[in-house]
Amino acid sequence: MEDGGGERERLTLVARKPCFGLPTACPKSLPVYIYLRFSKIPFSLEFNLIHPDSDQIPFVESGDYVAYNNEKGGVIPNLKEDGIVDLDSEVSGIPEWVSIKAMVESWLADAVMYELWVGCDGKSAQKIYYSDLPWPIGKILYFKQVLVVKQLLGITSDNAERREEEIYSRAALAYGALSSRLGEQSFFFDNRPTSLDAAFLGHVLFVLHALPETSVLRSKLLSHSNLVSYAENLKMEYVDANLSSSSVPQSDPSSSASKRGPSHWSSKPRSKAKREKTEEEKKFRRRAKYFLATQLVAILIFLSLLGGSSDAEVELGDDDDGLNYD
């Protein structure tokens, strides 16, 4: 609105908080940010820190116009349909483009959701979504979200391991296919950015920067060096370059990932150790349950015996001449 020469009012993207060196650390908001960056439209970035369980975020607003995440398939399709910005006009008819995009938005999105909420220890999720909420609310919402994610991914205590394998293997397949499709190009199609690049770049940046080093998904991604260099190059060109013009804080001292250079990606997969730990945990939980049950039974027996003996005392007491009912 205050910019001269713009017929349209200034665009504002409301997303989740920035951390780990990323302008916004939420895996749903980052692709939208990158898409707007690709389109070279000026926009301002604002953050919503108190509504982690909302599916309306991220949203884009401009004057009276609002494009929510949960309408018409997402913010990007919304922006395309409403004529604000459309980078896919020439590729959206290509079947390969559509199927690669579908693979990124289903298999890879599921893998990130699993890794963020179930696979890793949850510290990244807590930092991104709940670090600005008061502690009791943050904790309760976090546990609620873990349950929701497990429901969405169809994970139960019986099939947990099987589902995990399935999710990781699909992610690995997707990475392999994307790596061979990309080769040494800068973009996937037509040598220019499309929403597919926005979605995939958002995914890769999130996995590399926001997930911990012990993440299995991260280690699978690191095995494809062309994908990693694709992400780094595009990040330098589109994300880091204009950081000063938007309202993103430049340094995040709490994130150690921002100091690492491109050749220093390290991963420490603990897949085997993790599986053993899960079994140990299960054994421990079973034993703890038996222990607690035994304690409870002992207490109940004790109380019933004690209750019996105290009844006997009261009967004796009635023989006394007690006027005092205190």
Partner 1 sequence: METQPESDQESNQTESATSEPEDFEEFEEDDNDDNEDDFEQEEGEEAESMTAEARMRKNRAKMESLIMRLSKEQVPVRVHEVIIKGNTKTKGSLIESEVEAILRDATRFQQLLRAASVANARLQRLGVFDSVSITLDAGPPEVPGTANVVIEVSEAKNLLNGEIGIYTKPEARSWSLEGSLKLKNLFGFGDLWDGSVAYGWGQASEVSTGVSLPKFKVLATPMSARISLLSQDWLNFSSYREQVLGLSLGLLSSGNHDVSCNLSWRTLKDPSQMSSDTVRRQLGHNLFSALKYAFKVDRRDSLMRPTRGHAFIYTTQIGGLFPDIRSLRLIRQEFDLRYAIPLGFYRAALNFGISGGLVFPWGSGYMNTPSYLPERFFIGGNSSPVCSLRGPTSVLGFRARGLGPAEPRRPDNSDGGKPDDSGMDHIGGDLALTAFADLSFDLPLRALREAGIHGHVFACTGSLNKLTENAYKDFSFEKLRDSFRSSAGFGIIVPTKLFRMEVNYCYILKQNEHDQGKSGVKFSFSSPL
Q: How far apart are CA 309 and CA 295, in angstroms?
A: 21
Q: Where does this chain touch partner 1 (CB under 8 A) — which range of 133-141, 190-198, 199-207, 280-288?
A: 133-141
Amino acid at 17: K
Residue placing its CB nearer to partner 1 in the complex, 134 or 317 = 134
246 binds partner 1 per the rule CB under 8 A: no
Which one of 61, 86, 213, 252 is in contact with partner 1 (CB under 8 A)? 61
112 binds partner 1 per the rule CB under 8 A: no
CA dihedral 254, 260, 266, 269 (to 10 degrees): 20
66 binds partner 1 per the rule CB under 8 A: yes
Q: Is the alpha carbon torsion for 82, 84, 90, 96 positive or negative?
A: negative
Contacts with partner 1 by CB under 8 A: the residue count is 25
Give the 3-state DSSP-derived string for 259-287, with helices as H, strands as E and coil as C.
HCCHHHCCCCCCHHHHHHHHHHHHHHHHH
316 binds partner 1 per the rule CB under 8 A: no
135 binds partner 1 per the rule CB under 8 A: yes
71 binds partner 1 per the rule CB under 8 A: yes
The structure tokens 């439209």 sit at 41
Which one of 68, 114, 117, 142 is in contact with partner 1 (CB under 8 A)? 68
1 binds partner 1 per the rule CB under 8 A: no
For residue 153, the minimal CB distance to partner 1 (Å) is 24
Q: Is the alpha carbon torsion for 259, 260, 266, 267 positive or negative?
A: positive
Among positions 169-188, residues that touch partner 1 (CB under 8 A) are none
Residue placing its CB nearer to partner 1 in the complex, 61 or 240 = 61
Q: Is the alpha carbon torsion for 37, 41, 42, 48 positive or negative?
A: negative
For residue 320, the minimal CB distance to partner 1 (Å) is 16
148 binds partner 1 per the rule CB under 8 A: no
84 binds partner 1 per the rule CB under 8 A: no
The DSSP H or E segment spanning 323 is none
Exposed, middle or buried: residue 202 (CB in 10 Å: 0-12, 13-18, 19+)?
A: buried
Number of other CB atoms surrounding residue 31 within 10 Å: 29
Which one of 41, 54, 243, 258 is in contact with partner 1 (CB under 8 A)? 54
The binding site for partner 1 (CB under 8 A) comprises: 48-52, 54, 56, 61, 64-66, 68, 70-71, 132-137, 141, 323-326
